[in-house]
Chain A
């Protein structure tokens, strides 16, 4: 059993779409889960459907959505880094790594979930994943937690091989769906498409039914 799971992602909803079921399983079995959330997703283009957020109201709305989603999947503590959406790759990575390192030394997680740098599509994902790996690599072998990295770039399987961690999360499908619903601005469009049958193409790798059954990770090797 894990001692403490630390989750590091840049946007409210990354924790839900990528690994909400996995986190919920840890939380249900009594493992403390802390989430370092980099930004408030200030620059998202999804504003709800029909849209109800504006560019200026979006951060506050997403902060509230994050709270509800964390309640749903059982994340007890959220640490917000206060960065701005789309700018993480332009920050000084060593300074950001310092902040992550400090949290690592304090919480001593046995497992870290973050994005696999270079294979996570969004520049913020890659940048925060990179900074997190930097921080973890500063720890000694004895202190270093296991890292399960999330990747979904089109070429990730070609380069990284198949994911070595494939979690069956069917028992948490309802919980994950509740968290997805909590991120209203970000999920109404896609849930609407799902209801209309527009996302049922079996060819779609990102199909929703798959997302509610399995979550995959690559163990990061230092």
Chain B
């Protein structure tokens, strides 16, 4: 992955406009967060292969970045994004890594289902 360049990521978001896309969205503070007392709670959530369509998709902020995807009936939102990758055709990977390089948040879009 490379540090996010909005001038590349914004057109990539636009390329999915009004299409059926598969979404991977997650956030995590690690399965051992409570065990390690890094915080009081272990929290995390993920959606793998949610199928969505959005008519407006924006990346904003000065880094770490935020992304909002406006759907007909709702929103997809992610905050803390730092890096991106577009190596696979029809696939955009965005992730937020902490200072140690650990993934804390990910928002990924693909025209084809993500592998299970």
A residues in contact (CB < 8 Å) with B: 43, 45-51, 54-56, 59, 84, 86, 121-123, 153-154, 189
Contact = CB atoms under 8 A, between A and B. Distances in A.
B101 A121 contact: no
Contacts of B101: 46-51, 189
A43 B44 CA distance: 11
Contacts of B53: none
Contacts of B32: 121-122
B100 to A, nearest CB: 6
SS of A interface (majority): loop
Contacts of B106: 55
B68 to A, nearest CB: 20
A54 B96 CA distance: 11
A49 B100 contact: yes
15 contacts: A43-B46, A45-B28, A45-B104, A46-B101, A47-B101, A51-B101, A54-B1, A54-B93, A54-B95, A55-B24, A55-B103, A55-B106, A56-B91, A59-B115, A121-B31
B28 A54 contact: no
Nearest to A84: B116
**The 4 nearest A-B residue pairs measured at CB:** A51-B101, A45-B102, A49-B101, A45-B103
Given A47-B102, A49-B100, A189-B100, A55 B93 contact: yes
A188 B108 CA distance: 25
A121 B102 contact: no
A97 to B, nearest CB: 22
A197 to B, nearest CB: 16
Nearest to B102: A45
Contact of A46 (B35, B46, B102, B115): B102
A54 B115 CA distance: 13
